[in-house]
Structure 1
Amino acid sequence: ESEIHAIKDCSFSQAVWNSIVPPQEQVLFFSLPLDEWIMWNLQNIGDCGSHEVDCQTLFPIVCRLLWKNKNMFVFPTSHSSIQDVVDTSISWTRSYFPPSMPSFHAEPMVTIMKWSAPERSIQKV
């Protein structure tokens, strides 16, 4: 089984994505080649259906949880339900960007750090 099958093409993954991706975008979503699929999802600036979350953040979270779930299924442990994956993904995404935020794309903050010599009275141990 390939990685793309685990996070996009298997019936469990498709059910998760069908719960998230708006119906009018599902044909495109499932038909794109891997590289285009990843870029389209990472650049998607629309909303994810009625979930009111940032799709660019939700996409990698869903992929990670699908991958984790597949590993939990393959190696004898418990695994999550479709709704658990959807709910957890949306919850994690909202923890990064609450829906009330006016913009999902903040400017990066730059911190300039430099080394400075310690005071002469400090002893190295």
Structure 2
Amino acid sequence: MPTSASAFEIQSDFDAIDFAGGMIAEAKRRTGDNAAIEYACADMFDWLARFPEAYDCILTVGTLHHVDLTSALRAMSRALKPGGRLLVLDLVRRPGWRYVLINSIVWDAPASFVDGVNQIS
């Protein structure tokens, strides 16, 4: 059994996407020189469309209340690998059934559940 600290490091790559260049700059400042993170100032829908079934996990923070919920969930579902996970962190004060999902604080849904969004008209 390896005992070195490197044996316990997470071997992952991350994409950090935001529509606002200022948010990307702040993320870079806060994370320092981290080669495991690729930063992109991009539209979420355009970015995700380029990478079908590419992600093991998608974490969205403070995003869903700015976009069409159904379209966003569909786009993220298509970008998840089979068995992938969607984690949502969002707080919104708006009426309506759609925001019950968003206001769950952290929603950890398997891709198969998110695929059910395709049934929403």
Normalising to structure 2: TM-score of the pair?
Answer: 0.30
Return the structure number with greater strand share.
2
User: Which structure carries more relative contact order (alpha carbon 8 Å, separation 6+)?
Assistant: 1
Return the structure number with greater helix share.
1
Normalising to structure 1: TM-score of the pair?
Answer: 0.29
